[in-house]
Copies of this chain bind each other. A is one copy, B any other.
Amino acid sequence: MNPHAYSAAEIDGVYRAIRERRDVRHFKPGPLEPGQLQRFIGAAHNGPSVGYMQPWRFIRITDSALRARIHQHVNEERIQTADALGKRADDFMKLKVEGILECAEVLVVGLIDKRDQYIFGRRTMPEMDLASAACALQNFWLAARAEGIGTGWVSMFDPQRLRDIVGMPDGSQPIALLCVGHVHEFYTAPMLELEKWDQRRPLSDILYENRWDQPAA
């Protein structure tokens, strides 16, 4: 017996959240419970960070005119992405960005400016600041899922435009537009799988042994 293992119910909770987390684009109206958003942000803030730099910042959007500007920008970007995708554009255009207007909370998440001073673990891998923040956001996503709340990570935006919209300084970097709120249902599989965009690969496709492309024994 491993003395550090959690109870069966706790372990099940972790695996269940991992399995049932979805990138949500369809929301049901209604506010979060008091304190709930803070719990999710607290979960994120427990994320790992290279050299303990804690590079993440969250901008909660409570001004509805500002939310509308953000939505408008993402919608423009969606049309440009559809153009770039060519023949798959029709499929793509079905995926809604209306969630930004419908969800309970919108957050802009960004990396701090002046990140160059952090060297620890980043000398040859400067992009580890983004990796840290992404881990933090996965915490947010899982905590919200466990509490029955949906989260969507929108990355269809122009970083400079979004930076301008919420007054981010030079050198900072927006990485996510989070849509958070109640849902009618969580999708039974990732939306892009339901939409026949692609399927999850078998585990044997992603696991090698000792050398790239060498199947694991």
- Given A5-B147, A21-B46, A130-B130: A81 touches B138 (CB 8 Å cut-off): no
**Nearest Cβ distance between residue A101 and chain B, in whole angstroms?**
17
A61 near B13 with CB under 8 A, answer no
The total of chain A residues at the interface (CB under 8 A) is 108
- Given A2-B149, A200-B45, A207-B60: A110 touches B212 (CB 8 Å cut-off): yes
Chain copies in complex: 2
| Nearest-CB residue, chain B, relative to A121 | B155
**Nearest Cβ distance between residue A68 and chain B, in whole angstroms?**
13
B41 near A21 with CB under 8 A, answer no
Docked Cα-Cα span, A132 to B133, in Å, equals 11
Docked Cα-Cα span, A176 to B128, in Å, equals 9
**Nearest Cβ distance between residue A111 and chain B, in whole angstroms?**
10
| Nearest-CB residue, chain B, relative to A9 | B9
| Nearest-CB residue, chain B, relative to A136 | B138
Encoded as 1 (CB less than 8 Å from any B CB) or 0, chain A from 120 to 141 comes to 1111110110111111011101
Cross-chain pairs A/B with CB under 8 angstroms, 11 sampled: A10-B13, A11-B146, A21-B46, A52-B198, A125-B156, A125-B175, A131-B131, A139-B142, A142-B142, A166-B211, A172-B212
Chain A residues within 8 Å of B, Cβ to Cβ: 2-7, 9-19, 21, 23, 38-39, 41-43, 45-48, 50-52, 54, 56-63, 66, 77, 80-81, 84-85, 92, 110, 119-125, 127-128, 130-135, 137-139, 141-143, 146-149, 153, 155-159, 166-169, 172, 175-176, 182-183, 185-186, 190, 192-193, 197-198, 200-201, 203, 206-213, 216-217
